[in-house]
Amino acid sequence: NAGVTQTPKFRVLKTGQSMTLLCAQDMNHEYMYWYRQDPGMGLRLIHYSVGEGTTAKGEVPDGYNVSRLKKQNFLLGLESAAPSQTSVYFCASSWEHYEQYFGPGTRLTVT
């Protein structure tokens, strides 16, 4: 089992550019999450999904969109990147809101 994988690992964007981060899990988990972590800070929930075809807003959803077309994949999109979105993005999956399994993270820099 690969667990939770994230693509890409690193990315540099210019302000205004768009991109999509891909998260994949092979544990058949219903719940998936996207977090961001800024330097010296804890994780903040951006969006989450409780099943295929469903998404919901977390604590800091502005500037991001998500889609869960397949149970194993959860996509995070930035339509118009801003420097404030420079961060490390973590994806996670779980059975309900219990033990979450995290991916290795994507380090995004917006210049």
Partner 1 sequence: LAKTTQPISMDSYEGQEVNITCSHNNIATNDYITWYQQFPSQGPRFIIQGYKTKVTNEVASLFIPADRKSSTLSLPRVSLSDTAVYYCLVAKGGGGNKLTFGTGTQLKVEL
Binding site for partner 1 (CB under 8 A): 4, 33, 35, 40-45, 48, 50, 56-59, 90, 92, 96-105
Closest approach of partner 1 to the CB of residue 52, in Å: 15
Q: Rounded to whole angstroms, how far apart are CA atoms 23 and 73?
A: 6
Closest approach of partner 1 to the CB of residue 24, in Å: 14
Closest approach of partner 1 to the CB of residue 81, in Å: 22
Question: Are the beta carbons of 78 and 64 closer than 8 angstroms?
Answer: yes
Closest CA to 103 of 78, 72, 80: 72
The nearer residue to partner 1, 19 or 45, going by C-beta atoms, is 45
Question: Are the beta carbons of 34 and 74 closer than 8 angstroms?
Answer: yes
